[in-house]
Amino acid sequence: MSQEDDDDRMPDDLEAVLEAADEAEQQRKGRYDAPPLPPLLILAVVGLLCGFATIALVWLSERGCERFRDTTNCGALGLPLLVLIVVVTVVLGGLVLSRLAMPHPRLISFLGVAFMVALVVAFLTGHLDSPWIIAVVPALTAITFLLANLVARLLERADA
């Protein structure tokens, strides 16, 4: 065999090479190319967005209850609406973090929103009708996303 015959031959593990290329393409598909930003800045901004989304969804649910029940109290629908708001916020945060190629996007989003809800229920329940809550909840969510990232990194280190 000559050198030209070796170059024209297909590799024996062509299927493995094609599968690896397909997997690499699927991993790149759903991610946006963006200038590199510090991960903590990304987490804080996504936390702010999730906080504002939570405030907006709660406001919309109150307006809906007010329209249909003539009161901002949703009654028996209140708890399911709040659970739905939390789920939507977790999914939204996880999608944004995964699009920005952050490690553990769904875990960080879940923990960040869960920590925020726990702190709001524990300390801010009596002040939810105050106007300053519009600034406090997003800032608190940004902090809890940073805390969730720390917890996720510690869990990752514990697994190794």
Q: For 25-66, what is each residue's pLDDT tens digit?
A: 666 555 555 567 899 999 999 999 999 999 999 999 989 888
Positive or negative torsion for Cα 81, 122, 56, 147 = negative
**What type of residue is 154?**
L
- pLDDT above 90 for 86: yes
Q: For residue 76, give the DSSP letter.
A: G
How much is the pLDDT for 34? 56
Task: Specify burial of residue 39 (Cβ count, 10 A radius: 0-12, 13-18, 19+).
Answer: middle
Residue 5, pLDDT above cutoff 60: no
